[in-house]
Amino acid sequence: MAGIDIGGHGSRRSTNHEIPLIPFIDFLLCLVAFLLVTAVWSQMARINADARVPGPPKDEPPEKLEKEKQLHVEMRGERKFQLVWKEGSTVVNTIDVPRKQVPVGAEGDFKYPDLAEKITAEWKQNGSHRAATDRKFDQAVLHTDNSTPFADVIAVIDAIYTPQREFKLGNQTEIMPSFNVTFAVN
């Protein structure tokens, strides 16, 4: 067992000491148990959205904005989603995707793999910002009914975030969702 031996014999009080290891181990075990019980193992994450509101006014004149293609995801139909590529107010292309809900887990969660697959294919074909050095992201606008439950909205946003691309920031390259999602007001 661990002890401190500093030699010396014959003095009245013993100078050799045993370190009480067993109480020390007990203390450590209590500490471990307490910390394990109070530990927070967070499984929470976030899904990003962009409100697309203008920032504070700047002194420089604004850059000339080009009309970019935007993907409008229409989720108001009961049986199908509609993907609409628009350039300004001009409709470029419309694609229908069947609304097939796939349950995930036992807590009532679900996702739309068909929609995710179609959006990925569409982005590969029509996405404007695909280079790793491109700082902009393609814009997706979500059109939803007022009474749609939030879980449904999140499942669709999750599907929109399925296509991902490389994004180079300085020397670092990260994998990011290809689209930025915002809500349509009407």
Report the interface residues with another protein, using CB under 8 A: 1-2, 21, 24-25, 28-29, 31-32, 35-36, 38-40, 42-53, 55, 104-105, 107-109, 111, 137, 144-155, 157-158, 161-162, 164, 167, 174-177, 180, 183, 185
Least Å from the CB of residue 54 to another protein = 9
> Could you tell me the CA-to-CA distances from 81 to 8, 25, 59, 76, 107 in Å, in that order?
88, 62, 43, 7, 24
Closer to another protein by Cβ: residue 83 or 167:
167
Strand arrangement of the beta sheet that strand 138-143 belongs to? 90-98, 80-87, 69-74, 138-143, 179-183
Least Å from the CB of residue 11 to another protein = 29
Residue partners of 152: CB distance under 8 A and separation at least 6:
75, 144
Closer to another protein by Cβ: residue 67 or 168:
168
Token representation of residue 88: 């300004």
Closer to another protein by Cβ: residue 8 or 55:
55
Least Å from the CB of residue 46 to another protein = 4
Least Å from the CB of residue 103 to another protein = 12
Q: Where do we find the tokens 């009080």?
A: 13
Whole-angstrom Cα distance, residue 65 to residue 127?
Answer: 17
Closer to another protein by Cβ: residue 12 or 150:
150
